[in-house]
Structure 1
Amino acid sequence: MLRISDARIDGFIAEDVPYIDLTSEILGIGDQPGEMEYFTREDCVLAGTDVVRRIMEKLGCDAVTAASDGQRIEAGKAFFTVRGRAGDLHAAWKVCLNVFDHLSAVATKTRAMVDAAHAANPRCEVLTTRKSMPGAKDLLTCAVMAGGAFPHRLGLSETVLVFEHHLTFFGGFERFVDELPAIKAKCIEKKLFVEADAERAITLARVSANSIGVDGIQLDKVPVAELQELVSRLRAIDPRLTLIAAGGINPQNAGAYAACGVDGLATTAPFTAKPIDMSVRMRRA
């Protein structure tokens, strides 16, 4: 389970309820006991349950029934029910709904890509990039994992991944290849990956097969029609290389890319998912 601090949970609540629920106070209904259930109008893969449960606890509401992250929920079904004071239920209502409908959308789109990739190649994983909304990485990571994928890269401190921009400052691709043994020697506990086109990928594979080289190659924007042959060539040169396809991969083409024999698909697509249509019902207890 991803760690999310209490301060983060408090921040979610404060964003929507900075001081009081003025409407409940004006109507004088805050102390009345009640029950609230969340339901979906669309089939989806649920995400955000653990975050919502902690928000509810902070606001004094008790969960009665709750589905789990990653569970498929049919349209029309209730998936989370809580009891509490009417004022607390109203304070939790929208912030929790927003967590559920946004994260479940990401999880649902992720699962579609995972299912497509695994149907074509069970050994190919879907990996989401760090091109997500700033400030929401923890929530989006929860959603991605609920959908069956993994983070490709949670930040610059995590992975050694060399892009063309790095090589601009380093002195070019040729110098990088020449100094690969020294570069690799610095990656004591980390694997070394490089984003490359077809020509550079073949060069890197040959170097790695014959001496100290890269651990993996990220093949950027290589069309499906060309990718399978390229993967076969790279595997023949150095079967130990990890090969990742990246650039323009989405639910519609994930299966085709996975079928090319790569080990993973790096994608941003799940982060653009349209929120799931969800709502709540409240009643007196």
Structure 2
Amino acid sequence: MDNALKQSVDILLNVAIAEDKSAQDATSKLLLGSEKISTGIYFKEPGILCGTKIISYLAKQIDAQIKIRWNYKEGARIKKGSLVAKILGPANLVLSHERIVLNFLQKLSGIATLTNKYVAELKKTKIKILDTRKTTPGWRYLEKYAVQIGGGQNHRMDLSESILVKDNHIRVHGGIKKTLEKIAQRSGRKKISVEVENLGQVKDVVQFKIDQIMLDNFSKKETLSAIKIIRNSNKARIELSGGFTLKKIKSIRNLDVDYVSIGRITHSAPFLDISMGVLR
């Protein structure tokens, strides 16, 4: 686990403990002590396991007495009812932090699982699934990590990483040509991507040296025309964007594009149904 992930986990764990008041767990104070217990983590629905190293690190930060043994590797496809891990530690510590541990695991596994469903729909094609910056504040590194575990690829991690010219940039500069002329003068070596909204903009963009062209909310007919224009006059990679559901994404399987970016794999992925139970 790299430093960026560790830093994110440290920050999020502190927030989670503070808001849950784990050290002041009224129920655990009345009923539990430091006696050792063993608990199991179960998948109550099928999905992709994501967060094994993160959860192990998180448990260690909570208390070194808490030990986790994983029965499956990161990214494994888990069946409903599977015991994915065992946790051993003091009863008061394990149970007062149960919800925090599960929240992390359910969120990450949910993102990985939804991403993997999209990846499966484009199996045997060259098209790659990209995430977006539509992430939960503070969770970006973890959510984008989960996308990778699910088989997707990361778009920009942050605004400094590359240049992405969007509709509002173009409006401020009075048109796409003026915008790209200015970008060409100052971009340096950063990757340049441009979001286009119509075929007229596509024809303008291909006149410039661009790394990636994003077709935003194009119809099927417009997409086919745009692909032809780009492939005949430019070496730019082609990205599709715009509300792709699992049903809708099937329609692009045979298109000559390189990427499809999907915001919902981070902003709308449901928590995977995962539970923890005391083992007897």
Q: TM (normalized to structure 1)?
A: 0.88
Q: How does 1:54-73 map to 2 (within 5 A)?
A: 54-58=57-61, 59=63, 60-73=65-78
Q: Structure 2: which 5+ runs fail to align?
A: none
Aligned counterpart, 1:192: 192
User: How many Å separate the matches in 2 of 1:110 and 1:7?
Assistant: 25
Partner amino acid, structure 2, of 1:139: L
Aligned counterpart, 1:105: 110
In 2, are the aligned partners of 1:118 and 1:125 still within 8 Å (CA)? no
In 2, are the aligned partners of 1:37 and 1:82 still within 8 Å (CA)? yes
Aligned counterpart, 1:24: 28
In 2, are the aligned partners of 1:257 and 1:265 still within 8 Å (CA)? no
Cα distance, 1:70 vs structure 2: 1.5
Partner amino acid, structure 2, of 1:107: A
Q: What RMSD, in angstroms, separates the aligned Cα atoms of the two structures?
A: 1.9
2:96 equivalent among 86, 91, 102: 91
User: How many Å separate the matches in 2 of 1:128 and 1:140?
Assistant: 9
Deviations 1:238-264 (A, max 9, x none): 2x1111101111222223224311111
Partner amino acid, structure 1, of 2:242: G
Aligned counterpart, 1:254: 249
Between 1:64-73 and 1:215-224, the stretch displaced more is 64-73
1:4 equivalent among 6, 16, 21: 6
Cα distance, 1:43 vs structure 2: 0.6
Aligned counterpart, 2:274: 278
Cα distance, 1:154 vs structure 2: 1.9
Cα distance, 1:71 vs structure 2: 1.1
Aligned counterpart, 1:176: 179
In 2, are the aligned partners of 1:117 and 1:259 still within 8 Å (CA)? no
User: How many Å separate the matches in 2 of 1:224 and 1:48?
Assistant: 38
Q: TM (normalized to structure 2)?
A: 0.89
Change (3 A) 1:186 1:198: same
Give the secondary-structure state (helix, strand or coil) at the position aligned to 1:42: coil
User: How many Å separate the matches in 1 of 2:21 and 2:52?
Assistant: 20
In 2, are the aligned partners of 1:124 and 1:264 still within 8 Å (CA)? yes
Deviations 1:26-71 (A, max 9, x none): 12x2211110111011110111222211121122311123423311
User: How many Å separate the matches in 1 of 2:172 and 2:18?
Assistant: 44
Deviations 1:162-204 (A, max 9, x none): 1121122223224235x2xx52242222111111122211222
Between 1:37-46 and 1:182-191, the stretch displaced more is 182-191
Cα distance, 1:281 vs structure 2: 1.3
Between 1:41-50 and 1:134-143, the stretch displaced more is 134-143
Change (3 A) 1:204 1:218: same
Partner amino acid, structure 1, of 2:219: P
In 1, are the aligned partners of 2:12 and 2:138 still within 8 Å (CA)? no
Q: State the identity %.
A: 26
Change (3 A) 1:77 1:64: same
Aligned counterpart, 2:145: 142
Aligned counterpart, 2:238: 243
Give the secondary-structure state (helix, strand or coil) at the position aligned to 2:141: helix
